[in-house]
Amino acid sequence: MARVKTNEARFLGRYDPRKYPPMAVTVDVALVSAESGRLHTLLVERREAPFRGQWALPGGFVRPDESLEATAKRVLRDEAGVHGVFLEQLYTFGAPHRDPRMRVVTVGYYALVDAARLARHVGGRTRMAQLVVPWAGETGGPVELVGDAGEAVVPAFDHADILGVVVKRMRGKLDYSPIGFQLLPDTFTLRDLQEAHETVLGSVLNKDSFRRRMLASGLLEATGERQEDVGHRPAELYRFVKKSAV
């Protein structure tokens, strides 16, 4: 055992990492929200080549002593100004020439926030773009991005593909995982929640069964408060509660 350790120590001392092909690892984060039937994401203007002047997902190189998730959190904080949101690893993209500078493998993450919070952090070098999904269900493929005026926004790198995987993942998880709540503020009505689900899925849902399914899930807690100034009967406001283990 000591022998092995000694051998390993000697090996590590002689080890030269530079003989391996240079490769960079980045993390790109798709920050997504849903509002009035539309999915949005936050983009950052690139100030340097490649793709200078184009819009890209918030992202950055992984630092030597930083975990992948820590990189994602840092990027979200520094480039998008948000923290404490739902964040999950998505997929890793490593096509040889996806970055013209050098070989860059990027680990894609996606994060979910409510629309108001996303809008609060737009400005300067960042903007929002709407996701238009040109495929149904979980077919998959890149998404199209359009700006406020309906103009096409062509993202840098393979970020349209990354966003496509985000939508596919969200559609897949929505049924069995409480990610819909992540797109809403702290309190929300059942209709808000249903709209968020419909926006992600790109299809309409049955009102009654959706209500019952959500209430039966045990993930919702009535706040006792109601909407105000809504021009019709005000809906109950609910809060998301983590399902407690039995």
Q: Does 233 bind DNA (CB under 7 A)?
A: yes
Closest C-alpha to 40, from 124, 137, 125, 116:
116
Q: Are 221 and 238 in contact (CB under 8 A)?
A: yes
One residue of 37, 83, 102, 204 binding a copy of itself per CB under 8 A: 102
Q: Please, what is the minimum distance in Å from the beta carbon of residue 189 to DNA?
A: 6
Site string for a copy of itself, 33-72 (x = CB under 8 A): -----------x--xxxx-xx------xxxxxxxxx----
Residues 6+ apart with CB under 8 A from 173: 179
- CA separation for the pair 117, 32 (Å, rounded): 11
| Contacting range for DNA; rule: CB under 7 A; set: 23-31, 90-98, 135-143, 230-238 | 230-238
Contact 129, 48 (CB under 8 A): no
Q: Tell me, residue by residue from 170 to 209, as one string, x for binding to DNA by CB under 7 A and - for no binding.
A: -------------------xxx-------------xxxxx
Residues 6+ apart with CB under 8 A from 27: 59, 60, 62, 68, 71, 72, 75, 106, 107, 108, 109
230 binds DNA (CB under 7 A): yes
Establish if 216 lies at the interface with DNA (CB under 7 A).
yes
* Member of 38, 46, 127, 211 binding DNA (CB under 7 A): 211
| Beta carbons of 48 and 128 less than 8 angstroms apart | no
Per-residue interface string for the shown chain with a copy of itself, residues 136-165, x marking contact by CB under 8 A: ------------------------------
Contact status: 15 vs a copy of itself (CB under 8 A): yes
* Sheet containing strand 55-56, strands side by side: 55-56, 38-45, 126-132, 144-146, 152-153
8 Å CB contact between 223 and 187: yes
Locate 187 and state its tokens: 């309190």
User: Which residues would be at the binding site for a copy of itself (CB under 8 A)?
Assistant: 1, 4-5, 7-8, 10-12, 15, 17-18, 20-25, 44, 47-50, 52-53, 60-68, 78-79, 81, 89, 91-92, 94-96, 100-103, 105, 107, 121, 123-126
User: Which residues would be at the binding site for DNA (CB under 7 A)?
Assistant: 189-191, 205-213, 216, 226, 228-236
